[in-house]
């Protein structure tokens, strides 16, 4: 296959197609591919020798029970939805702290509860020995309404 024009070539009576192939685009593509392979080839062979730990598949440990501690807007405390007196709170938390596995304490507070009350409850939990404390929020309330 020849490329070229049918113009008069040096006085020949009939125009002849040019019989040369333009190799410049071919060389450009080959150089780009060569550069790509030079850059990516070391990345393909690069590896780090590490000794991974061996582990056997075992059953997951039993999930600890959860204790829900609710605080309403007036500061009243509810232990698993049952009303709790202030003096009984430390006793109930201390009993929960010695269980094995230790239960998780989920703290639910009204939006209008004072931070001081929450800080007091967290301090009681820490003094009782509870180490697993989580806050429960309502994901259905938009952030703009949570003022």
**Distance separating alpha carbons of residues 96 and 129, to the nearest angstrom:** 9
Task: Kindly report the number of other CB atoms within 10 A of residue 136's CB atom.
Answer: 13
Q: Which fold has domain 66-145?
A: Nucleotidyltransferase; domain 5 (3.30.420)
Bridge partners of 78, per DSSP, are 70, 83
DSSP 22-42: --HHHHHHHHHHHHHHHHHHH
**Distance separating alpha carbons of residues 105 and 125, to the nearest angstrom:** 9
In a 3-state reduction of DSSP, which class is residue 96?
Answer: helix
The domains of the chain are located at 66-145
Sheet holding 66-71, edge to edge: 82-84, 77-79, 66-71, 104-109, 133-136
pLDDT tens digit sequence for 71-126: 888 888 999 888 988 788 888 988 888 888 888 999 898 888 888 888 998 998 99
Would you state the pLDDT for residue 33?
Answer: 95
pLDDT tens digit sequence for 114-146: 888 889 989 989 988 888 888 888 777 665 555
């Amino acid at each position: 296959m020849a490329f070229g024009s049918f113009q008069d070539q040096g006085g020949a009576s009939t125009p002849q197609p040019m019989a040369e192939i333009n190799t410049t685009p071919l060389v450009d593509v080959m150089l780009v591919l060569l550069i790509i392979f030079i850059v990516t080839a070391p990345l393909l062979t690069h590896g780090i020798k590490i000794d991974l730990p061996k582990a056997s598949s075992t059953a997951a440990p039993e999930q600890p029970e959860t204790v829900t501690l609710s605080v309403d807007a007036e500061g009243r405390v509810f232990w698993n939805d049952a009303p709790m007196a202030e003096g009984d709170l430390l006793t109930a938390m201390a009993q929960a702290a010695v269980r094995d596995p230790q239960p998780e304490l989920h703290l639910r507070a009204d939006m209008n509860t004072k931070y001081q009350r929450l800080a007091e409850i967290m301090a009681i939990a820490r003094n009782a020995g509870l180490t697993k404390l989580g806050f429960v929020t309502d994901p259905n309330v938009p952030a703009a309404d949570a003022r």
